[in-house]
Amino acid sequence: MAKKNQLGVTPLSEDVSAWYNELVFKAELADRGPAKGTMVIRPYGYRIWELLQSQLDQRFKDTGHVNASFPLLIPMSYLQREADHVEGFAPELAVVTHGGGKELDEPLVVRPTSETVIGEMYSRWISSYRDLPVLINAWNNVVRWELRPRIFLRTTEFLWQEGHTAHADEDEAMEETLRMFDVYVEFALNVAAIPMVKGEKTPGERFAGAVRTFTIEGMMQDGKALQSGTSHYLGQNFAKAFDITFQDENNELQHVHTTSWGMSTRMIGAVILAHGDDAGLVLPPRLAPIQIVIVPIGRGEQAEAPLAKCRELAAQLEGLGVRAHVDDRDASPGFKFNDWELKGVPLRVELGPRDLEAGHVLVAQRVGERDDKGRPVKETVEFEEFVTGAPERLDAYHDQLVARATAFRDERSGVADDWDTFAELVGRGFAYALHCGEPSCEDDIKAETSATPRCISTEDGFAGEGTCIRCDRPSVYGHRVAFARAY
RNA sequence: CGGGAUGUGGCGCAGCUUGGUAGCGCACCUGCUUUGGGAGCAGGGGGUCGCCGGUUCGAAUCCGGCCAUCCCGACCA
């Protein structure tokens, strides 16, 4: 058993898994629900989700999408209409067999994803090329029966968004698939401060029912990959299964081409695992419920003036769109410092009688320069300068987290052209290697290294052909495949 | 489903080997003193010891069964 620090959390450096589990509870992000595999997202964690939601939703609106809501319960027979889709989801379905005290004629499944109901509705709504494209997104919850749940990373019920679009032809649908893929990449970097490894899934890792699947994979601090968002080109698979047809300009009947794309509450897990440290959470400012916490210092009458100034500063910060909070709890400053560090607040401000006299605050960054006791080096900043400079300071902090995460990822990743290098790299991060594309060969690699193909990397510098890293058959993708152990 | 572990105040645990009427830390409540890196003292409230059955004068403790949860694998955003 790794020994716990004074926060009661196992150090990240000793046991990432224990650290993660304990931190989720201690930071009050979430709790376990009474039924196995369910989670309660607590207000602090839910605020992160709301911030994620609003910023992602804005991007959907900016790319022409509208929101709608579809039913939770789906007739079992719908799932069965697309062969690959049922096969993929059958093992993880929750099925409702009774309603109103009676056994149902046809069981209903609790949606594991909504392709099928939405397919049914699209077939009703679409009849002409003039109806296309249909660009709808849904924010909802889905249920997938998980054998081994982990809060945020893999729970039986989770929250997400699923975009579903229908287009007249393949080109347009592929363009949409890639557009939303780019939105995820950009969002992950600019909001969650996570530089994603991106690319296309190999056939064996594709979404059930998709023709092509694109994925963003984040690197967590234990070197494991976390799939954080996917965008699928579904071809005409669902159009054929649900008879989604339209008449084109030439009066010919055609099936539409559909896409779907999703990002879930798993992203919160990605943020925890990508940025956190021994002291607790480290939240990127654009997802932080509190961006700046202000701690008044002083006792008795001496506390009143600093507290008033703290409130004034907070109001000014709020005026600039900064989420600021004055911690006026009846607790010692030291307690508050540790508490907010545990909760990952980007910036902390201290303001006591001495500071008030001098007209400045002390500013400490959650991640940044440390003194020899491991405590943040506190910067002295004049009141007005601090307030007006706060937005910029938060942006700089965001950039700092990106730089740190990028350096970590790159240091743990590399190109592998021989098996030993491959095995070593995959033990600590991503290995970019050539692959034959055979599912059985993927299985062998998994059995020997526990690594799986995360994506075919189409990024610069990863083009290549040659022989497979494991079996020496010719490589097939024209690009290297990023392999890693994964959540 | 396989392997491992655990169920005792809200949380974390001890007590079980060797049965005797439940204890510690944190949290909570009251009061006083405190407050620049997890404050101190004093007082106080709160538990059918996972469930069912058995052994016994007596069970948290011994025996049998069941249930649940967690961790490690197989399925997965």
Which nucleotide is closest to the Cα of A20 by its C1'?
A: B71
Alpha-carbon gap, residue A84 to A68, rounded angstroms: 26
Examine the pLDDT at A383 and tell me if it is beyond 90: yes
End-to-end alpha carbon distance in chain A:
22
- Which pLDDT value is given to residue A8? 64
Give percent above pLDDT 90 in chain A: 80
User: How many other CB atoms sit within 10 Å of the CB of residue A47?
Assistant: 17
Q: Which residue carries 């545990």 as its tokens? A: A342
Pairwise CA distance, residues A175 & A216, whole Å: 17
Q: 């740190």: which residue's tokens? A: A404
pLDDT tens digit sequence for A189-199: 999 999 999 99
Residue A2 pLDDT greater than 50, yes or no = no
- By C-alpha to C1' distance, B68 is nearest to A36
Bases on strand B under 7 Å from any protein CB: 1, 34-39, 68-77
Closest nt to residue A378, judged CA to C1': B36
Rounded, the Å distance between the CA of A46 and C1' of B65 is 43
Once rounded to an integer, what is the mean pLDDT over residues A221-228? 93
pLDDT-based confidence at A181, cuts 50/70/90?
very high
Pairing of strands A452-456, A481-484: antiparallel
The yes-or-no verdict on residue A335 having pLDDT over 60 is yes
Question: Which segments within A273-404 are labelled E, that is strand?
Answer: 292-296, 324-326, 347-351, 360-365, 379-382
> Distance in angstroms, CA of A36 to C1' of B69?
8
Round to a whole number and report the distance in Å from the CA of A40 to the C1' of B62: 40
- Residue–nucleotide distance: A299 CA to B34 C1' (Å): 8
User: What nucleotide is nearest A112 when CA is compared to C1'?
Assistant: B77
Contacts 24+ apart (CB under 8 A), A362-365: A363/A393, A364/A337, A365/A397
A1-CA/B4-C1' distance, Å: 14
Q: Which nucleotide is nearest to A376 (CA to C1')?
A: B37
DSSP character at residue A412: T
Whether A445 shows a pLDDT value over 50: the answer reads yes
Distance A332 CA to B40 C1' (A): 13
CB-based contacts of A39: which residues, under 8 Å, 6+ apart?
Answer: A30, A31, A32, A33, A149, A151, A152, A155, A157
Domains of chain A with CATH codes: 16-275 (3.30.930.10), 290-393 (3.40.50.800), 414-484 (3.30.110.30)
Is residue A172 a contact partner of residue A185, using CB atoms and an 8 Å limit?
A: no
Task: Look at residue A315 and give its three-state secondary structure.
Answer: helix
Beta bridge partners of A431: A414, A483
* Predicted confidence (pLDDT) at residue A63 exceeds the cutoff of 60: yes
pLDDT of residue A31: 87
A11-20, A231-240, A476-485: least confident range: A11-20
Nearest residue to A11 (alpha-carbon basis) of A280, A268, A224, A273: A280
Give the nucleotide at minimum CA-to-C1' distance from A149: B76
Please state, in angstroms and as integers, the Cα–Cα distance from residue A399 to each residue in A327, A388, A404, A435, A483, following that order: 26, 19, 9, 35, 27
Instruction: Specify the nucleotide whose C1' lies closest to residue A298 (CA).
Output: B35
Q: How far is the CA of A110 from the C1' of B8 (A)?
A: 38
pLDDT exceeds 70 at position A148? yes
**Nucleotide showing the shortest C1' distance to residue A267 CA:** B77
pLDDT of residue A447: 86
Name the average pLDDT for chain A.
93
What ipTM does this complex have?
0.87
Displacement of CA A59 from its chain's centroid (Å): 15
Give kind and range of the element (H or E) at residue A190.
helix A170-190
CB A344 within 8 A of CB A276: yes
Q: Above 90 in pLDDT, residue A372?
A: no
What percent of chain A has a predicted confidence (pLDDT) above 70? Answer: 98
Whether residue A6 is predicted with pLDDT greater than 90 in this model: the reply is no
**Predicted confidence (pLDDT) per residue in A297-329, tens digit:** 988 788 899 999 999 999 999 999 999 999 999
A322 CA from B3 C1′ (Å): 51
